[in-house]
Amino acid sequence: MAGSIKRVLVVGGGISGLTLAVALRRRGIEVDVVELAPRWNLLSVGISLTGPTLRALKSISLIDECVGVAFGFDRIVFADAAGNQFSQLNMPRLSGPDYPAAVAIARSALHEVLIRASERLGATIALGVTAALLDERGDAVEVTFSDGRSGTYDFVVGCDGFHSTVRKLTFHDVPEANFTGLAVWRATMPRHKDVDSMQMFYGPNTKAGVNPHSRDEMFLFLVQPIRDGQRLPPDRMHLLLAEQLRDFSGSVMSHARECVNDPAKVDYRPMNSFLLPSPWHRGRVVVIGDAAHATTPHLATGAGIAIEDAVVLAELLASDLSVAELLERFMARRFDRCRLVVETAVKLGEMEKDKTIPIQAHFDLMSATFRRLAEPI
Ligand SMILES: Cc1cc2nc3c(=O)[nH]c(=O)nc-3n(C[C@H](O)[C@H](O)[C@H](O)COP(=O)(O)OP(=O)(O)OC[C@H]3O[C@@H](n4cnc5c(N)ncnc54)[C@H](O)[C@@H]3O)c2cc1C
């Protein structure tokens, strides 16, 4: 029996919002997406999509398009600051033998796949618009948009990221995000010929890594302990990152240091972590993705759990369950799993700051968490 949810408003056209639009359209539900940005601002920096994320994308028939514009790999290599490998994490192919265990992909390439699929499947997307007012009336939500239009929806989903407006409009007493005491640097550069999977390098003060997101390009990341969310001079970003990279040697990291020569291509951000207490819904409004849980990138899984949220929510919205039942099942399937990611990522960051903890302990925690995340959702 088809469910009672026929029309959904998705607020936010990021990774979770567009994945939800695709997943809902695949199940025949009408979808409007409103995105605050007046035009798509697609970052070329790369992102990793782990095995569970690819599995979720496969369930909504998006895996081929994503893998087609990404770089696949089956292992993460762990090395010291001089580039000597001391361990390797072999990851299972959760989507079957024909797909890699994980990929790295340019954010812009992922976004283009999601936009194309949403539009092809009939979702409408309005740019430069947001939901200004949400008024729940019985079994519908009346929405007033920032451009003066209005609409009636069976359900509204806030996919509007860490600073979510839907969360502010809907929830009271939301806890503050936690500043982790870490910042992450990222830069895109030509791929070193030996980089064919994610590689991590543990230095005396920082952890760095590289990941190939296409045949020609890879991205560098470096995680640095900091005291506060200090602002850095935009015109010196490349010099400051190159300085951090002096702790590392070996051909890959030397190549990375040489390539860091343009301040405009360096991204730096202090890292916060946030978990909205359960439940993530009030009436017929729910928040998913970073609006509900924002994690540091230590497990490369923030977008992954946002994509999973979207897939699970679409499945339940299309079911014949009552709204109360489907939301209860949604929280049962999502909360502990997302908490595991958020809390473990914080723990890995804390371990990086404490130089008395052996690197093997980081590796063990990461491996154990990936094993748990491989379980079905
Ligand atoms: C440095 C860094 C590295 C990361 N690396 C990885 C990785 O390798 N792998 C991984 O899985 N995850 C990674 N993540 C996490 C990942 O980027 C996020 O978890 C993911 O982008 C969350 O998607 P989202 O759609 O929920 O939110 P967002 O990506 O923030 O998208 C929200 C969208 O909503 C729009 N919006 C905001 N406000 C409104 C409004 N009021 N109305 C309408 N629209 C609005 C925004 O413009 C945006 O388009 C990383 C994060 C960081 C910071």
Q: What pLDDT is recorded for position 173?
A: 87
* Ligand 1 mean position, distance from CA 299 (Å): 15
Please tell me the residue having the least CA distance from ligand 1 atom 30. Answer: 161
Please tell me the residue having the least CA distance from ligand 1 atom 4. Answer: 297
| Sign of the alpha-carbon dihedral angle for 153, 158, 163, 169 | positive
Ligand 1 pocket check for 3: Cβ under 6 Å: no
Q: Give the gyration radius of the chain's Cα atoms.
A: 21
Ligand 1 pocket check for 299: Cβ under 6 Å: no
First-last CA distance in the chain: 23
- Ligand 1: which atom is nearest the Cα of residue 50? 11
Phi, psi of 212 (to 5 degrees): -80, 125
pLDDT tens digits along 112-123: 999 999 999 999
Say if residue 132 is exposed, middle or buried (CB neighbours under 10 Å; 0-12, 13-18, 19+).
middle
Alpha helices (runs of H) in the chain, residue ranges in sequence order: 15-26, 51-59, 63-68, 107-120, 165-170, 237-244, 251-259, 302-317, 323-353, 359-373
| One pLDDT digit (tens) per residue for the chain, 377 residues | 457 999 999 999 999 999 999 999 999 999 999 999 999 988 778 999 999 999 999 999 999 999 999 999 999 999 999 999 999 999 999 999 999 999 999 999 999 999 999 999 999 999 999 999 999 998 999 999 999 999 999 999 999 999 999 999 999 989 999 999 999 999 999 999 999 999 999 999 999 999 999 999 999 999 999 987 678 899 999 999 999 999 999 999 999 999 999 999 999 999 999 999 999 999 999 999 999 999 999 999 999 999 999 999 999 999 999 999 999 999 999 999 999 999 999 999 999 999 899 988 999 999 999 999 999 99
Ligand 1 pocket check for 349: Cβ under 6 Å: no
Q: What pLDDT is recorded for position 1?
A: 41
Ligand 1 pocket check for 290: Cβ under 6 Å: yes
How many other CB atoms are found less than 10 A from the CB of residue 2? 11
pTM reported for the whole predicted model: 0.97
Ligand 1 pocket check for 16: Cβ under 6 Å: yes
Ligand 1 pocket check for 15: Cβ under 6 Å: yes
Say if residue 358 is exposed, middle or buried (CB neighbours under 10 Å; 0-12, 13-18, 19+).
exposed
pLDDT tens digits along 91-102: 999 999 999 999
pLDDT tens digits along 154-172: 999 999 999 999 999 999 9
In angstroms, the CA 246 to CA 240 distance is 10
